[in-house]
Amino acid sequence: MFLLAGCGSDATNEPSGASAGSGASGSGASSGSGGGAQSSSGTGGTAECPEVEPLTQSACSFPADKVCAYGECCPEEVSCVDGKWEVTITECQPPPCPATPPAEGSDCTCAPTTCPWESTCANGGMASIAGVCLQTGWHLEITGCPDTPCGDGGLTCKPTEVCLKKAGGPGFSYSCAASTCGNDPVTCDCAGQLCGGMPYVCTGYQGGELTCDCPTCP
C-alpha cells in the first residue's frame, strides 16, 4: 500500500480571532516537554506550544487567545479553553497534482497519493506517466513509448530516438539518432543539429520523421 509522505509534527502558533474573557496571562507554561514554537500571549508574555499535540480535554495552562497548529498538510488547531485542550479539525481541500511530472525521488510532502500526466516521446508518441507518492518521495512509472518504424526498410527507433530522413542522391536514407529535445515536441529548433550541419538543412518533422534536405546535393 502506498502511503503519503509523513507530515511534520512540529507545532506552530497562529493568532485566534477571539479574545479570551478570562484574560489569561502568558506566565503559564505548557504541559508539553518543550521544544515547540514560541508565541507571545495577549498580555505580553510568552507561551510555548507543546511539542506533541495534546489529547483533547487534557488539562492545560495556556493563554486562551493563542492557537497551536499541528500537522504540515492539513493542520489541526489546538487551544486551551477553561483549563482543557480543545482540538479543532480543519477542512482542507485536496492538494492538486504538480503541473508537470516531478523528478524521481523528489519530495512529495502534502501531495496526492497518485497523479497522472502525459508527455511527448522523443519519437513523437505519447507517454502515460503515473506518479506515486511514497515515503521516500515521488516514484514515476512511464508507459506508452513504443519503438516506432523509421522508413520502409524494417528499421525501428527507440522511444528516446528520432527517425532521421536524409535527402541527397537517389531517394532517402534513414537512421535513428538520440533526441536532443528532451520531453519537448520534436522540432527543427531543438533537433535540427541531428542533420549534421551543412549541406544538410532541417526542413520539418512530420509523421515521426525529421527531414534533412540537401539543397546543394545533386
What are the CA-CA distances from residue 26 to residues 67, 143, 145, 153, 194 (Å)? 13, 58, 63, 83, 70
Long-range pairs, 49-53, Cβ under 8 A, ≥24: 49/11, 49/12, 49/13, 49/78, 50/11, 51/10, 51/11, 52/9, 53/9, 53/11, 53/78, 53/87
User: What confidence score (pLDDT) does residue 169 get?
Assistant: 67
User: What confidence tens digit (pLDDT) does each residue in 130-183 have?
Assistant: 999 998 999 999 887 778 889 888 999 888 889 999 987 677 899 999 988 877
DSSP state of 192: G
Q: What gap in Å lies between CA 35 and CA 5, rounded to an integer?
A: 23
Give the confidence band of 212 by pLDDT, cuts at 50, 70, 90: very high
Tell me the CA distances in angstroms from 114 to 44, 95, 104, 126, 134, one per residue in order: 46, 11, 14, 19, 9
Q: Count Cβ atoms below 10 Å from residue 179 Cβ, excluding itself.
A: 23
101: region left, alpha or beta (phi > 0 left; psi from -120 to 50 alpha): beta
Distances in Å between the alpha carbon of 137 and those of 75, 101, 127, 154? 21, 13, 21, 41
Q: Is 159 exposed, middle or buried (0-12, 13-18, 19+ CB in 10 A)?
A: middle
| 122 has a pLDDT exceeding 80 | no
* pLDDT tens digit sequence for 78-89: 999 999 999 888
Rounded-to-integer distance, Cα 36 and Cα 49, Å: 5
pLDDT for residue 120 is more than 80: no
How far is the C-alpha of 121 from the C-alpha of 53, rounded, in Å? 48
Cβ–Cβ < 8 Å for 211, 192: no
The whole-angstrom separation of Cα 191 and Cα 210 is 8
- Predicted confidence at residue 26, as pLDDT, reads 35
- Position 22 scores a pLDDT of 35
Grid coordinates given for 201: 538543412
Q: What is the pLDDT of residue 95?
A: 85
Residue 124: predicted pLDDT: 65
